[in-house]
Every structure is written in structure tokens, then in C-alpha cells.
């Protein structure tokens, strides 16, 4: 690999992200999900009934990107989109029975990735903390 690329943190992040996504792809294919759909489903498995806005903020996605993704999940009968009774401008996303059932099949995906990465649990936690710190700092710098 080119030495100048190896010295660039952005390339290391990009490369690690692509490798993780490539590892997830066959597992997610078995579930009928893309990686962004898996992220949405993970948030809903954690807390069902979130709004489109909540999901967008958590995933750092705008509604133009998130809405088609949610439509595909709805077409697959994994979620239902409903206008909030208290405010019709808000759209809630609720898991269907099929969406809830899918959680059992997806439950061990993060552990499989961690195992494939060859990291001990403590190393993985430190990596996640470091990446969260880098992400926050980069977002703050970009906002200036």
C-alpha cells in the first residue's frame, strides 16, 4: 500500500469502515437488510416508536436519505410509518411483528464483527471510545 496513504488517519478510518461493512454484507444479506437499514433496525430494537427526526439525528442522516430507506423497510413489512397523534407533522416508526422477530437473527452480528477483528472486549471498548472522541472533534471542527 502507498506509504502516504498509510499515514493518513482518514484513509485508515475509511478502510476500516469498508472492511467492516464487507464483513457484515453476507450476514445482512441473510437478513434481507442493507447496512443502513440494519442501523435503523438496531435503533428501533433498542427503542421502538422513534420519530423519523430522532432516527435521523442518531444516524446523522437527512430526511432525503432516511425516507426512502424507511419506505423500503416498510415495503419489506419490517416497520410501519404513522403520523403522531399529538403532532401530525411528526412520523413515528414502529416495528412490525416481522421486524421484532428479525432481532433474534441479528442479535450476534456485533460480536461476530468484534471476533473477526481480533480485539479483546476492553480493546474494542477503547477503540469505540477513541472513535467517538474523533467523530465529536471532527464534527465540532467542521461546524466552525
Specify if 133 maps to a domain. Answer: no
Specify if 6 maps to a domain. Answer: no
Specify if 92 maps to a domain. Answer: yes
Specify if 81 maps to a domain. Answer: yes
Note down the domain range covering 39: 33-104
Q: At what angle do helices 9-31 and 35-46 cross, to 10 degrees?
A: 80
Specify if 137 maps to a domain. Answer: no
pTM of the model: 0.85
What CATH number should be reported for the domain holding residue 54? 1.10.10.10
Cα 133 to Cα 16, 71, 88: the distances in Å are 17, 33, 36
Q: What are the b/e assignments for 59-73, b being 16+ CB within 10 Å? A: bebeeeebeebbeeb
List of residues 6+ apart from 57 with CB closer than 8 A: none
Specify if 18 maps to a domain. Answer: no
Q: What is the pLDDT along the chain (144 residues), one digit of tens a residue?
A: 577 887 888 898 999 999 998 999 999 999 999 999 999 999 999 999 999 999 999 999 998 999 999 999 999 999 999 987 777 788 899 999 999 999 999 998 888 888 888 888 888 889 999 999 999 999 899 998
Specify if 49 maps to a domain. Answer: yes
Specify if 24 maps to a domain. Answer: no
What's the confidence (pLDDT) of residue 1? 58
**Domain count of the fold of the chain:** 1
Amino acid at each position: 500500500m502507498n506509504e502516504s496513504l498509510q499515514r493518513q488517519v482518514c484513509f485508515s478510518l475509511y478502510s476500516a469502515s469498508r472492511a467492516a461493512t464487507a464483513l457484515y454484507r453476507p450476514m445482512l444479506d441473510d437478513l434481507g437488510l442493507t447496512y443502513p437499514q440494519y442501523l435503523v433496525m438496531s435503533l428501533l430494537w433498542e427503542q421502538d416508536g422513534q420519530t423519523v427526526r430522532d432516527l435521523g439525528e442518531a444516524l446523522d442522516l437527512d430526511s432525503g436519505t432516511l425516507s426512502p430507506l424507511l419506505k423500503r423497510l416498510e415495503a419489506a413489512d419490517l416497520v410501519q410509518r404513522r403520523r403522531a397523534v399529538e403532532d401530525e407533522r411528526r412520523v413515528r416508526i414502529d416495528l412490525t411483528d416481522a421486524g421484532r422477530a428479525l432481532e433474534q437473527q441479528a442479535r450476534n452480528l456485533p460480536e461476530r464483527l468484534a471476533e473477526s477483528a481480533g480485539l479483546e472486549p476492553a480493546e474494542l471498548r477503547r477503540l469505540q471510545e477513541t472513535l467517538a472522541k474523533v467523530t465529536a472533534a471532527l464534527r465540532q471542527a467542521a461546524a466552525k
